[in-house]
Amino acid sequence: MNWINRLKQANIGEILENEPLSKHTSWKIGGACDGFIIPKNREKLVETLKILAEENIPWKVIGRGSNLLVLDQGYRGAILHLASKEFEQIEFHGQQVFVGTNVSIIRLANLAAKQSLSGLEFAGGIPGTIGGAIYMNAGAHGSDISKVLVEAEVLLENGKVEKWSNRDFAFAYRTSRLQKEKGILLSALFQLKPGDRKKMIEQMIRFKERRTKTQPYHLPSAGSIFRNPEGDYAGRLIEELGLKGYQIGGAQISTIHGNFIVNVGQATAKDVLALIKMVQVKVWEAFKIWLKPEVEVVGEE
């Protein structure tokens, strides 16, 4: 492919052709992409976008792939993964912390607690990157990323880098402006506050123990499948209908938590989508509530 050859000639970084995306998602599901690209740095990332635009090639950025369902026919285009050192910076400045987009949010939460800085305890069990957390406005335990973000750098499709304030992101429940307007999050600045190190670590341990007991972390999944409807919990509705353990192909509604679909062996995206639709229909019939998926679906049917 001409665009892949151009990227190689430009010495962009690592380029994997026909790379199975099942290797890069927490569900272990997904067909191959045409090119999986790991740019060396910010400059090479900008150059990548320029070449992809000139060649009219679709692209998407992924981090840990923890909230993503890639369809079985894969993705026609380029998948960008910002795994170079430039995107993994962590710098504490007083009560603020500057981080690169590919930093694990769990790691950041733990480091902040060790520095006696409070505000990220809720994120101690969210298995994704800073970029993904801001894209989804990830949250848990009554808080979310919008509560602590000051500003972030965003690379637009035209190659321009803008600094967006918290307000610019138009955060809402599990959504942000980045879901409507294409851009790549490069770095973020968070405002934390002094906290009791011992109490914060104890709280994060409690959260972890609770998750271990109530969520199926021993099997590949994408975390919560559905957004909670206002005033209720998707998991409760699903469990009330006796759907835990229901299986299509290799995809199963977790026997531990109704709002998780787990890969119990060779699950396909088709299996997962069939389960999602079945749950939506049954919940609608019983409660007149249409559950909205939280996971992002990408790729070819």
If DSSP codes are grouped into helix, strand and coil, which group holds residue 220? coil
Segment 221-271, tens digit of pLDDT:
998 999 999 999 999 999 999 999 999 999 999 999 999 999 999 999 999
CATH architecture for the domain at 88-199: 2-Layer Sandwich (3.30)
Segment 267-288, tens digit of pLDDT:
999 999 999 999 999 999 999 9
Q: Would you state the pLDDT for residue 70?
A: 98
Please name the amino acid found at residue 157: E
Which sequence spans correspond to the domains of the chain?
Answer: 2-80, 88-199, 216-298
pLDDT at 106 over 80: yes
Instruction: Say which of 42, 174, 187, 254 is annotated catalytic.
Output: 174
pLDDT at 100 over 90: yes
The mean per-residue pLDDT over the stretch 149-175 comes to 95
In the chain, pLDDT over 70 holds for what percent of residues?
Answer: 100
> Which residues are CB-neighbours of 30 under 8 A, at least 6 positions away?
20, 21, 22, 24, 68, 69, 70, 71, 72, 74, 75, 269, 299
Residue 294: active-site member: yes
Q: Would you state the pLDDT for residue 208?
A: 80
pLDDT at 17 over 80: yes
In the chain, pLDDT over 90 holds for what percent of residues?
Answer: 85
Confidence class for position 149, pLDDT limits 50, 70, 90? very high
pLDDT at 123 over 90: no
For domain 216-298, say whether CATH 3.90.78.10 is its number. Answer: yes
Q: Would you state the pLDDT for residue 261?
A: 97
Residue 22: active-site member: no
Sign of CA dihedral 87, 143, 239, 176: negative
Which of the four CATH numbers 3.40.50.300, 3.30.43.10, 1.20.1250.20, 3.40.50.880 does domain 2-80 have? Answer: 3.30.43.10
Predicted model pTM: 0.91
Q: Would you state the pLDDT for residue 279?
A: 98
- Mean of the per-residue pLDDT values for the chain? 94
Q: Distance between CA 229 and CA 227 in Å, rounded?
A: 6
Q: Would you state the pLDDT for residue 300?
A: 82
Segment 27-83, tens digit of pLDDT:
999 999 999 999 999 999 999 999 999 999 999 999 999 889 999 999 999 999 999
pLDDT at 301 over 80: no
Residues forming a β-bridge with 37: 15, 80
The mean per-residue pLDDT over the stretch 123-135 comes to 89
Segment 189-219, tens digit of pLDDT:
999 999 999 998 888 888 888 777 778 888 9
Residue 227: active-site member: no
Instruction: Say which of 22, 187, 221, 224 is annotated catalytic.
Output: 224
268 neighbors 250 (Cβ within 8 angstroms): yes
Please name the amino acid found at residue 37: I
pLDDT at 143 over 80: yes
Query: For the chain, where are the alpha helices, taking DSSP H only?
Result: 2-9, 42-54, 105-114, 130-136, 197-214, 234-240, 269-287
Q: Would you state the pLDDT for residue 209?
A: 80
Query: Alpha-carbon Rg of the chain, whole angstroms?
Result: 20
